[in-house]
């Protein structure tokens, strides 16, 4: 069952996503104009409902003894995806596994190692559990932002919530489609043919109505879709503008 959020819940989540370490209940309460006790109760309810599943440190592994981060785009059989994802999470060195509702590249795995031999070991272990590795790249930078629709009305809305730069110039961006974006109402095939998005851009997945969908050429992009875009040569300006509309302040790159 889904947990129905109200405005206070959304503001709480937005604040904790921005900085869970230093943001206190009194600070959030002052912004929302309720008591600190109300905020503490809301946080506890959100945790009990599984909406807030934990608090994690955003670690710069390169700064930690120069460790390497590798992003592996993997494919697991749909019927076994959940079971295999659990096995991949158990591989030493794997720090994050993302499951996608797609046929190909439905597991995104982040691995950390001290040297390239560690990353090769992790890749072999992942392959050994029955997961096919389609592609892998070293991560250069990664940034996180609070979920824009939960922000206060007087704050600027970001439409790039996750932007990862990979080695070799490749990039992965997760963006919320603005209502005035040029790509709204256009199929991905039409957008590519008309040059609305860069020729090297590949929309990997689209999240709509709490459902992650496989992106096809005949898929029509709608306002408020959350799209994941991969580009071997880097997500170019035309692709960013296709999803963001005319607001140049909405792009944040690591």
pLDDT digits (tens, 9 = 90+) for 9-38: 999 999 999 889 889 999 999 988 888 998
Q: Residue 57 domain-assigned?
A: no
Does one domain contain both 154 and 237? yes
pTM of this structure? 0.60
pLDDT at residue 249, rounded to an integer: 39
Does one domain contain both 112 and 162? no
Does one domain contain both 78 and 167? no
Does one domain contain both 123 and 185? no
Does one domain contain both 160 and 230? yes
pLDDT digits (tens, 9 = 90+) for 36-54: 998 999 999 999 999 999 9
Q: Number of folded domains in the chain?
A: 3
CATH number for the domain spanning 11: value is: 1.10.10.10
Does one domain contain both 244 and 161? yes
Q: Please write down the HEC assignment for all residues of the chain.
A: CCCCCCHHHHHHHHHHHHHCCCCCHHHHHHHHCCCHHHHHHHHHHHHHCCCCCCCCCCCCCCCCCCCEEEEEEEECCHHHHHHHHHHHHCCCCEEEEEECCCCCCCEEEEEEECCHHHHHHHHHHHHHCCCEEEEEEEEEEEEECCCHHHCCCCCCCCCEEEEEEEHHHCEEEEEECCCCCCCCCCEHHHHHHCCCCCCCEEEEEEEECCEEEECCCCCECCCCCEEEEEECCCCCHHHHHHHHCCCHHHCCCC
Domain of residue 21, residue span: 7-48
Q: How confident is the model at residue 69 (pLDDT cuts 50, 70, 90)?
A: very high
Q: Residue 2 domain-assigned?
A: no
More confident position, 89 or 241: 89
Does one domain contain both 114 and 160? no
Q: Residue 63 domain-assigned?
A: no
């Amino acid at each position: 069952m889904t947990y129905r959020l109200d405005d206070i819940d959304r503001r709480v989540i937005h604040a904790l996503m921005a900085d869970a370490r230093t943001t206190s209940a009194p600070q959030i309460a002052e912004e929302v104009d309720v008591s600190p006790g109300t905020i503490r109760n809301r946080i506890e309810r959100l945790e009990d409902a599984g909406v807030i599943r934990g608090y994690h440190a955003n670690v710069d592994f390169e700064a930690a003894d120069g460790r390497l981060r590798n992003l592996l785009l993997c494919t697991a059989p749909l019927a076994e995806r959940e079971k295999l994802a659990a096995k991949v999470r158990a591989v030493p060195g794997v720090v994050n596994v993302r499951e996608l509702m797609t046929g190909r590249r439905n597991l995104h795995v982040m691995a950390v190692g001290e040297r390239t031999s560690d990353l090769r070991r992790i890749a072999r272990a992942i392959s050994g559990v029955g997961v096919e590795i389609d592609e892998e790249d070293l991560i250069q930078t990664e940034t996180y932002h609070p979920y824009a629709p939960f922000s206060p009305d007087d704050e600027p809305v970001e439409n790039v919530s996750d932007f990862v730069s990979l080695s070799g110039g490749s990039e992965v961006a997760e963006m919320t489609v603005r209502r005035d974006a040029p790509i709204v109402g256009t199929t991905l095939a039409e957008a590519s043919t008309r040059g609305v998005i860069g020729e090297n851009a590949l929309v990997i997945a689209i999240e709509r109505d709490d459902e992650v969908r496989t992106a096809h050429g005949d898929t029509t992009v709608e306002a408020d879709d959350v799209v994941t875009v991969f580009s071997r040569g880097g997500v170019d300006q035309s692709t960013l503008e296709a999803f963001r509309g005319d607001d140049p302040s909405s792009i944040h790159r690591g």
